[in-house]
Amino acid sequence: MPGTGKGSKMDIMQVIQARHSVRAYTGREIEPERRQQLDRLVQQYNAESGLHLQMRYDDPSGFDSRLAHYGSFRNVDNYLVLAGTKAPDLETKCGYYGEKFVLEAQKMGLNTCWVVLTFQKAAVRKLLAEGDRLVAVIAVGYGTTQGVPHKSKPRQRLIQCKGEVPEWFVRGAEAAILAPTAMNQQKFQIRLEGDEPTLRVSGLGPYTRIDLGIVQCHFEVASGHTIRIVGA
């Protein structure tokens, strides 16, 4: 994927470690300068990817339902809509660019949560261009907390490598383990084959393609190396 960027790897690792899903927000408005920054990112990602991402501010209708409350979301007033025209890589691309957005938002002191289930799909679908498919949304705002680290599957089930392992691969693998996945399913496996890193699905499930894009993003931004998705 383009635009990985090789600079400030240490900083990005700290951002990745600090990010956790946050579902309850304080209601504090996102300031105009930060909105401009977020809007610029959305423009840039749409231009790069051909996706139709859009940022909604001060619009609680996307989470205004019993379902959203049941999913323990509170005061979600801002969210990113991830959508695009139907294509085999629509979901992985949404995962990749959505997570780039999440990490940038985290750098700006904002909290986020990916959401595929517990939001008002009917209200959000009304915002889409004709023919677009809605993939997910990402809640954005000032959290009441910073969230908590997720539990992980054993490292050896997620990462496979033999012999001398380069430092960039270790960093990428570390970042992948910290990536958010739907229901924390972590259905991925990263391998180092020769000097080529690959990313596979370790079991089919709903939303695994979005997860793969997210994991790809974490690996690439942390390691500075591209990773190829195999068999998805």
Ligand X SMILES: Cc1cc2nc3c(=O)[nH]c(=O)nc-3n(C[C@H](O)[C@H](O)[C@H](O)COP(=O)(O)O)c2cc1C
Assess 18 for contact with ligand X (CB under 6 A): no
Binding mask 145-184 for ligand X (x = CB under 6 A): --x--x-----------------------------xxxxx
Rounded to 5 degrees, φ, ψ at 97 are: -75, -35
CA–centroid distance for 187 within its chain: 15
114 - beta bridge partners? 138
Looking at beta carbons only, is 117 or 201 nearer to ligand X? Answer: 117
Cα 96 to Cα 138: distance, rounded to the nearest angstrom: 13
Q: Is residue 7 left, alpha or beta, with left meaning phi > 0 and alpha meaning psi from -120 to 50?
A: beta
Assess 137 for contact with ligand X (CB under 6 A): no
Q: In angstroms, what is the minimal distance from the CB of 194 to ligand X?
A: 30
Cα 165 to Cα 190: distance, rounded to the nearest angstrom: 13
Assess 115 for contact with ligand X (CB under 6 A): yes
Looking at beta carbons only, is 116 or 127 nearer to ligand X? Answer: 116
Assess 214 for contact with ligand X (CB under 6 A): yes
Binding segment (CB under 6 A) for ligand X, from list 17-25, 43-51, 74-82, 195-203: 17-25
CA–centroid distance for 18 within its chain: 14
135 - beta bridge partners? none
Looking at beta carbons only, is 150 or 200 nearer to ligand X? Answer: 150
Binding segment (CB under 6 A) for ligand X, from list 31-39, 57-65, 75-83, 114-122: 114-122
Following CA atoms 148, 149, 150, 153 in sequence, which dihedral angle do they give, to the nearest 10 degrees? -160
Assess 49 for contact with ligand X (CB under 6 A): no
Binding segment (CB under 6 A) for ligand X, from list 29-37, 100-108, 112-120, 190-198: 112-120
Cα 215 to Cα 228: distance, rounded to the nearest angstrom: 11
Assess 118 for contact with ligand X (CB under 6 A): yes
Cα 15 to Cα 179: distance, rounded to the nearest angstrom: 11
Binding residues for ligand X (CB under 6 A): 20-21, 23, 71, 113-118, 136, 147, 150, 180-184, 207, 210-211, 214
